Amino acid sequence: MGDAAERSSTRDGSTTRIAGVRPYGEDAGDLYVRDGVLVDPVSDPDETIDAGGLIALPGLVDLHTHLREPGGEEAETVDTGSAAAALGGYTAVFAMPNTDPVADSPVVVEHVWRRGREVGLVDVHPVGAVTVGLEGSRLAEMGMMAASPARVRMFSDDGRCVNDPLVMRRALEYARALDAVVAQHAEDHRLTVGAQAHEGPVAARLGLAGWDPAAEESIIARDVMLAAAAGARLHVCHLSTARSAEVLRWARETMDVTVSAEVTPHHLLLTDTAAEDYDPVHKVNPPLRPSADTAALRRALADGTVDCVATDHAPHAVEAKDCEWSAARPGMLGLQTALPVVVTTMVATGLLDWRGVARVCSEAPARIAGLADQGRPLTVGEPATLTLVDPDAAWTVRGESLASRAANTPYEGMQMPVSVVHTMLRGRWTVRDGAVRELRKVAQDG
């Protein structure tokens, strides 16, 4: 093992002291790491990292990432997406199955899982498709995917809604038997044929076909009832309207249902008026909503109605975005900007403190996905899986400088208030001083 590899790891019996760090933004102290876990203080650490002024959070967990491999490698790969994730402070991501071929079989999910292990920068958990080819009619081999080495425990047709209620009911029943969760992209496609932007005055003025918010809200209302009937766990992807949050509150108050929900950073920050420049970088599904919705979503995240933040990181090749609005593919990059956008919308506004950030960006998503060694407290005996954030290091977003293969960020030129400085996965540095570590060698040698 070379020097660089040795320095990147605490798994060889050596102890690293992370000095002067503020866990959850609270009182400064030292964290000690040995053999991949947080340990009691020692007097003679082998290495000391000066983390004065930095905030430590448990490694972030993203339930909604498009890594595009296999089949979409011109936009992203497991390599480039894992690098973007680690740089964004993530230690685990869930890779959506709308790839080519679709991840609807044990072969494809195992391939994605193995690629993630080879790269070694974040834990890559493949999400299995609910239906064959995402076509919405026949259930995919959910049991086989669950039994594969990838141990799939989350299923979704994301990009598409499981629109047929009987197929959704059956999927929930299988998920229950597998102790898995169905993550629904809530969009009644009958209501959104040709839709281009949130249905309202902005879209009308721009001449863009409207996306009726009821297409989302009505599917969530339907699905909580189906999940209650099936005794299954439902997760709602990228919730985007105030009324969707109301439906969740009503469901939890009135029925015995286990339902969780995520909101994206872009639905917390950006509004439908972003489309006024007709730049397809702002085209996303579900679409950006009016400011009354973003305000309600922030409140819903703060009060726990919405459980967590998920990026819906959706890289697209230049051709898919450098065209007229209606021809462009929906989606935007998210992994490297998620935490700063959460800080802007939730911390700077006083809605959440850093403990709250840990809850919505790490603990809650780990719990929803059933990950045992992510989203854990920063206490002795727990995995050394964490991210160190400089709360005062502002930076300017440049799509070309992001680690993703694609550059379709809606935040081009925008100032972000905080920076991820270091990320550690089970005692291995994946990011040091804002740069990705070359871990392949470490993974192979040791």
- Tell me the catalytic residues: 312
Q: Is 198 in the site for ligand DOR (CB under 6 A)?
A: no
Q: How buried is residue 198: exposed, middle or buried, by Cβ count under 10 Å (0-12/13-18/19+)?
A: buried
Question: Residue 412's Cα: distance from chain center in Å?
Answer: 20
Nearest distance, CB of residue 72 and ligand DOR, angstroms? 9
Whose tokens are 């391939």? That residue is 111
- How many residues bind to ligand DOR according to rule CB under 6 A? 12
- Residue 403 C-beta: closest distance to ligand DOR, Å: 18
The reply on whether position 262 binds Zn ion by CB under 5 A is no
Which candidate, 282, 283, 287, 342, places its Cα nearest to that of 311? 342
**Is the torsion defined by CA of 11, 15, 21, 23 positive or negative?**
positive
CA dihedral 36, 40, 41, 42 (to 10 degrees): -80
Contact set for ligand DOR, span 139-168 (CB under 6 A): 158-159
Can you tell me which of 23, 280, 331, 334 binds ligand DOR, judged by CB under 6 A?
331
330: contact with ligand DOR by CB under 6 A: yes
- Taking residues 64 to 103 in sequence order and writing x for each that binds Zn ion by CB under 5 A, - otherwise, the string is ----------------------------------------
Phi, psi of 147 (to 5 degrees): -85, -10
* Alpha-helical segments (H) within 183-282: 201-206, 214-230, 242-254, 265-269
Q: Which is nearer to Zn ion, 158 or 363 (CB)?
A: 158
- Residues from 158 through 177 that contact Zn ion (CB under 5 A): 158
DSSP secondary-structure letter at 46? S
Should residue 185 be labelled a site residue for Zn ion when binding is judged by CB under 5 A?
yes
The contact mask relative to ligand DOR for 86-125 (x = CB under 6 A, - = no) is ------------x---------------------------
Continuous H helices in 24-140:
78-87, 106-119
**CB closer to ligand DOR out of 31 and 269:** 269
**Closer CB to ligand DOR, 23 or 159, in the complex:** 159
Q: Which of ligand DOR, Zn ion, none binds 31 (CB below 5-8 Å, type-dependent)? A: none
Q: Which residues are annotated as a binding site?
A: 64, 66-68, 98, 158, 185, 238, 285, 312, 316, 330-331
Q: Tell me the C-alpha distance between 375 and 373, whole Å.
A: 7
Nearest approach, Cβ of 284 to ligand DOR (angstroms)? 4
Q: How far is the CB of 412 from ligand DOR (least distance, A)?
A: 17
Residue 289 interacting partner from Zn ion, ligand DOR, none (CB closer than 5 to 8 Å by kind): none
Asked if 285 is part of the footprint of ligand DOR (rule: CB under 6 A), the reply reads yes
DSSP annotation string for 330-398: P-B--TTTHHHHHIIIIITTTS--HHHHHIIIIIHHHHHHT-SSSS--SSTTSB--EEEEETT--EE--
Q: What is the per-residue binding string for Zn ion in 130-159, x denoting contact by CB under 5 A?
A: ----------------------------x-
Min separation Cβ 399 and ligand DOR, Å: 16
Residues 59-88 binding ligand DOR (CB under 6 A) are 66
Residues between 392 and 431 that touch ligand DOR (CB under 6 A): none
Of 330 and 365, which CB lies nearer to ligand DOR in the complex structure?
330
Side-chain-facing half-sphere of 201: CA atoms under 13 Å: 3
Sign of the dihedral through C-alpha 306, 184, 216, 323: positive
* 3-state secondary structure (DSSP) of residue 245: helix
Side chain identity at 437, as an amino acid letter? R
Q: Which residues does residue 47 pair with via DSSP β-bridges, in sequence order?
A: 16
- State the residues that interact with Zn ion by CB under 5 A: 158, 185
- State the residues that interact with ligand DOR by CB under 6 A: 66, 98, 158-159, 185, 284-285, 312, 314, 329-331
